[in-house]
Structure 1
């Protein structure tokens, strides 16, 4: 059960990062470095979710 909770938590963080990325890229002075860092964090979370789902 703990793995399912972790997957849900990571899913929430993944959605939050996606929202942050969308807000950042729509700003007139979007910081491309910040967007890249957010996308990298989002990808790491997605990879962790995939690894956990493979174990279940």
Structure 2
């Protein structure tokens, strides 16, 4: 894949998703530490975090060339 606008925009998206994933991690840890979150709220945040992780993994896989050994 060449270094074109498409790749640059995908890298920017990837960075944005990773930052959001880290933000969710901090939010979850904070809610658990303070004990101020109900289980439903925690479950929703964790589900969103997992979905982000899957999306990040897919984008990263798309960047790697297919190598058949």
**TM norm structure 1:** 0.92
In the alignment, does 2:48 pair up with 1:41?
yes
Name structure 1 gaps, 5 residues minimum: none
Q: Displacement of 1:32 after TM fit? A: 1.0
Asked which structure has the greater CA Rg, the reply is 2
**TM norm structure 2:** 0.76
Q: Displacement of 1:17 after TM fit? A: 0.2
Q: Over the residues paired in the alignment, what is the CA RMSD in angstroms? A: 1.0
Report the 3-state secondary structure (helix = DSSP H, G, I; strand = E; otherwise coil) of the residue aligned with 1:48. Answer: helix
Q: Point out the structure with the larger helix share.
A: 1
State how many pairs are aligned: 56
Farther-moved stretch of structure 1 (10-19 vs 23-32): 23-32
Name structure 2 gaps, 5 residues minimum: 1-7, 64-69
